[in-house]
A and B are shown apart, each in its own frame.
Chain A
Amino acid sequence: MKTFTELNFSGRLVAVEGLDGSGKSTQIYLLKRWLEAEGVRVYFSEWNSSELVKSATSKGKKRELLTPNTFSLIHATDFADRYERHLLPLLRAGYVVLCDRYIFTAFARDVVRGCPPAWVRGLYSFAALPDLTFFFKADLEVSLNRILEGRPKLKFFEAGMDLRLSSDPYESFRIFQGHILEQYLAMSTEFNFVVIDANQRVEAQQEIVRQLVSRCIDLARFKRRSPLPLPPPMRRPGKAVEFDDEPVE
Chain B
Amino acid sequence: MKTKKQNHIVIPQPVRRRFYGHGIPGVQLDDLVGKLIAVEGADGSGRSTQIARLVVWLETTGHGTVQVGLKRSTLVSEELERAQEGNILSRTTLSLFYATDFADQLENIILPALKAGFIVLADRYIYTLMARDMVRGMDDVWLKNLYGIALEPDAVFYLAVEAEELVQRNLSKSATLDYWESGMDLGLSRDMFDSFVQYQTAMQAAFRQLQKTYGFTIVDGNHSVDAVTVELRKKIGAVLTGK
Contacts and interface: CB of A to CB of B under 8 A. Distances in A.
Nearest to A83: B92
Contacts of B141: 122, 247
Contacts of A84: 90-93
Nearest to B22: A116
Q: What does DSSP make chain B's interface, helix, strand, loop or mixed?
A: helix
B75 A60 contact: yes
B103 A56 contact: no
Nearest to B139: A247
Given A74-B76, A76-B96, A123 B107 contact: no
Interface stretch (B143-151, B177-185, B234-242): B143-151
B25 A81 contact: no
Interface in B141-161: 141-142, 145-146, 148-149
Contact of A67 (B79, B107, B139): B107
Contacts of B91: 84
B103 A69 contact: yes
Contacts of A246: 139
Given A116-B22, A247-B139, A70 B107 contact: yes
B211 interface: no
B100 interface: yes
A114 B25 contact: yes
B142 A69 contact: no
Contacts of A56: 75-76, 78-80, 100
A73 B93 contact: no
Given A114-B25, A123-B145, A81 B89 contact: yes
Given A60-B75, A74-B100, A77-B93, A122 B107 contact: no
Interface in B75-123: 75-76, 78-80, 83, 88-93, 95-97, 99-100, 103-104, 107-108
A34 B102 CA distance: 44
Contact of B145 (A52, A74, A119): A119
A167 interface: no
Interface in A172-194: none
A118 interface: yes
B94 to A, nearest CB: 9
B22 A68 contact: no
Given A56-B79, A60-B75, A119-B149, A77 B25 contact: no
A56 B82 CA distance: 11
B21 interface: yes
A80 B148 contact: no
B103 A73 contact: yes
B75 A245 contact: no
A31 interface: no
A126 interface: yes
A70 B146 contact: no
Contacts of A81: 89-90, 93
B137 interface: yes
A209 interface: no
A246 B25 CA distance: 30
Interface string A56-84: 10011000011111100110110011011
Contacts of A68: 25
A55 interface: yes
Contact of B83 (A52, A60, A69): A52
B89 A52 contact: yes
B75 to A, nearest CB: 5
B22 A80 contact: no
B137 A245 contact: yes
A65 B75 CA distance: 7
Contacts of B97: 53, 77
Contact of A55 (B79, B93, B95): B79
B139 A116 contact: no
Contact of A118 (B22, B89, B138): B22
Interface of B: 21-22, 24-26, 74-76, 78-80, 83, 88-93, 95-97, 99-100, 103-104, 107-108, 137-139, 141-142, 145-146, 148-149
18 contacts: A53-B79, A53-B93, A55-B79, A56-B80, A56-B100, A69-B103, A69-B149, A74-B76, A76-B96, A80-B93, A81-B90, A84-B90, A114-B26, A115-B25, A119-B22, A119-B149, A122-B146, A126-B139
